[in-house]
Structure 1
Amino acid sequence: MTDLKFISTTSANGVLEREFTLGDLHGMLWSPASADPAPLILLGHGGGRDSKAAPMVGRAHRLTAEGFHAVAIDAPGHGDRPRTALDDEQIAAMQKAMATGVPVGPIVVPYNLHLADLAVPEWQATLDALEQLPELDGRFGYFGLNMGTAIGVPLTAVDPRISAAVFGIFWYDEVLAEHARRIKVPIEFALQWDDQHIPRESSLALFDAFGSTEKSLHANAGAHKEVPRFEVESMVRFFARHLR
């Protein structure tokens, strides 16, 4: 990885937004107007999105309003990053499965874990670079649903700098569960009780696999994409409890 480079900076409504590159990586860093050192929350985006997606910006602004910094990077094959032949093949297979009613989990899970193998060292390199900034106080959390969980669980399992994490909306898989068993930091886990893609038993099994002694399950009625907006408020309170 080469040096961190900020390529654009904007400031509005008390939020400093900096776009950066780190070698081939692209990301966004959001900071509160206050100069006081504060924790950094890593935001993992879902499949088909990127670091500039509206949900990422909304979550980042909510976190900065509470005094946190937030960062997101584009996952492999997302945003402006080039897709491989495997990416195109797997995306087409997922779209066909969802259109025909075939279970999509057997496609999504191995593909997302493949992306996690690539993304975890990228996240660690990003954290290596950002932790040098004087406005960060050395405390780090992670938030990611869907593909953000597939990447965030192995990342949290191997990087001791992450001391609290929010996951959810993903399938049980033995490889992912093995990573989860190594996680001992406080976690919050969200699932949709009526998820048409992820059987609730699968989500419950993944939650059960986490080795954390402090873990909370948030089960909400609704389909896969109907995670209530108030879960963002819960996420903010969770990080306030554990990172301050």
Structure 2
Amino acid sequence: MAVIVALGAFLMTLAGGWTAQRVTDRRHLVLGLAGGLMLGVVGLDLLPESLNAAGRPVFGVPLALLLFVAGFLVAHVVERLLAVRHAAHGAENGAGSGADGGRVPQVGLTAAAAMVGHSLADGVALGAAFQVGGGMGVAVALAVITHDFADGFNTYTLTRLYGNDRRKALLMLFADAAAPVVGAASTLLFTLPEEPLGAYLGFFGGALLYLAAAEILPEAHHRHPALSTLMCTVGGVAGIWLVVGIAE
């Protein structure tokens, strides 16, 4: 049953990516919405789930929050290291920062790969929920399928934002779409402990928040500081809130 439900997540992810690539003439609105969706997923979905699953304290701080901060810092460090390497390589070859404003394609691919990992965890969580019972499985299925639209949207947007071509963005999108199916199928072979999954969600949430706050939203408002862009961001957060509320 979990694998069949995961096929719905597959289609929803593709729908999100298709939407992202079809509105390229309104790129600032796409980025504003993506930033809102990412903020909503982190604050209203990933972080609460991680606190519930891996909330034991380490030196007075819940493990999930420590890993959340660690994920934010790791994303920042990785981006800075790649940017420095990219700049040095460009200087050696007499190249400037380029039309992408110095953005490093590897960062976009790394971020998209993290989204694929998150979708894989979604599939595992879906399978684990059906192991617990039908009611739990339906609740998790609703959450996974609805927010996978945001996952597909963000995977395609992140890959393209950092200067990767459309082919690579589509490959990452299809990988993200297939990941829940693979994750759900894997639970036919084992039972996943709750705490490691919660720890992963906390770490990934921190990395995703960095990308939203430091890259996506500033880029959205850089050339088009319009009210419509801001409303797309608020709408993205509100949409995830609605999804979480319905799932509960």
Higher helix share: 2
Structure label with greater radius of gyration: 2
Same fold, TM-score > 0.5, yes or no: no
Q: Could you state the TM-score of these two structures normalised by the residue count of structure 1?
A: 0.33
Higher strand share: 1
